[in-house]
Amino acid sequence: MATNSLVSIDDISKEEILRILSAAQYFEQNPDHKILDGRVVATLFFEPSTRTRLSFETAVNRLGGRVIGFSDPSVTSTSKGETLKDTIIMVSNYVDLIIMRHYLEGAARYATEVTDVPVINAGDGANQHPSQTLLDLYSIYKTQGTLENLTITMVGDLKYGRTVHSLLMAMRYFNPTFRFVACNELQMPQEYIRFCDDNGIAYTVHSDFSEAVIDTSDIIYMTRVQRERFTDIMEYERVKDLYNLRNSMLVNSRPNLRILHPLPRVNEIDRDVDDNPKAYYFQQAKNGLYARQALICRALGIEVPIVNK
């Protein structure tokens, strides 16, 4: 595995996370710094995406690199039966970095085992989405002024939601308190509950998205119930509309509260929340550009200037 690959948020230390956030801050101030010197990056998306693919590709373009890739595997030789292994080996002949989203958990880890080109995991099934986590951490830091000692409420699909899994793991360095709000079918999986127990992370589990939970949160992290992860469509229909955030529910919330969502949303956040200054999900997606510029530089071993605070 290339040392600068990023497959799981668990692959990077607290110091590295802080370095990446500092680099993201640099790129927010200098988004067009051309430091890729024409290097070529592949974006291989075996699953649909709007934000992740387009922000990675914008990041490469703004840094002066070039992008090849696909967003629809049906137009590639995958549709003729070419394996993932062969695809990765072939693409490695052409590029300096591979950014890949795949529907199978573990696909990104597997890719790192068959190539020496660095790989960034842009989401593998219900497993991990580490670049999303870096932009989430950057958004939390920007809005709260710290990552330490925050109360973070995660709501919705905590079972299949790879963004909440990655964020939970990354926050272990910063003494968080978590609230997990979900129905039984979509609660946080046992392996992540164990992770909290093993790392001394405080958490409570709720089925009710109550005023008491909302009014004592610093961050509410809403998630979509992902139809594409269900094998039983009736089960999806039963749980898809259980949690919905409306503007009226925020009346007594903390002044510093910010509402995050990895997006896309369906109906879990009412449109009437969008104009509330505590709604931060669109700015959060914009922060993805800067965080991904930082991650691309890390993967390619390119040093980013330190920000003057």
Query: What gap in Å lies between CA 62 and CA 292, rounded to an integer?
Result: 11
Residues 32-51, interacting with ligand CP (CB under 6 A): 49-51
Q: Is 121 in the site for ligand CP (CB under 6 A)?
A: no
State which residue, 25 or 52, has the beta carbon closest to ligand CP: 52
Q: How far is the CB of 216 from ligand CP (least distance, A)?
A: 26
E strand or H helix at 45: strand 40-45
Q: Is 62 in the site for ligand CP (CB under 6 A)?
A: no
Question: For ligand CP, which residue of 8, 25, 43, 52 counts as binding (CB under 6 A)?
Answer: 52
Q: Answer yes or no: are the C-beta atoms of 307 and 25 closer than 8 Å.
A: yes
Q: Is 226 in the site for ligand CP (CB under 6 A)?
A: no
Q: How far is the CB of 135 from ligand CP (least distance, A)?
A: 9
Total chain residues near ligand CP (CB under 6 A): 9
Cβ neighbors of 9 (< 8 A, separation 6 or more) are: 128, 130, 133, 166, 167, 169, 170
Question: For ligand CP, which residue of 100, 263, 294, 304 counts as binding (CB under 6 A)?
Answer: 263
State which residue, 139 or 153, has the beta carbon closest to ligand CP: 139
Q: What secondary structure does DSSP assign to 172-210, as a single string? A: GGG--EEEEE--GGGSPPHHHHHHHHHTT-EEEEESS--
Q: Answer yes or no: are the C-beta atoms of 5 and 289 closer than 8 Å.
A: no
Q: Of the listed pieces 80-88, 206-214, 231-239, 262-270, which binds ligand CP according to CB under 6 A?
A: 262-270
Q: How far is the CB of 49 from ligand CP (least distance, A)?
A: 3
Residues 131-170, interacting with ligand CP (CB under 6 A): 132
Q: How far is the CB of 129 from ligand CP (least distance, A)?
A: 6
How far from 1 is each of 16, 40, 90, 303, CA to CA, in Å?
18, 19, 16, 21
State which residue, 96 or 136, has the beta carbon closest to ligand CP: 136
State which residue, 139 or 143, has the beta carbon closest to ligand CP: 139
* Neighbouring-strand partners of residue 24: none
State which residue, 91 or 291, has the beta carbon closest to ligand CP: 291
Q: Answer yes or no: are the C-beta atoms of 222 and 264 closer than 8 Å.
A: no
Residue of 16, 52, 278 whose CA lies nearest to 143: 278
- Residues of this chain that interact with ligand CP (CB under 6 A) are 49-52, 123, 132, 262-264
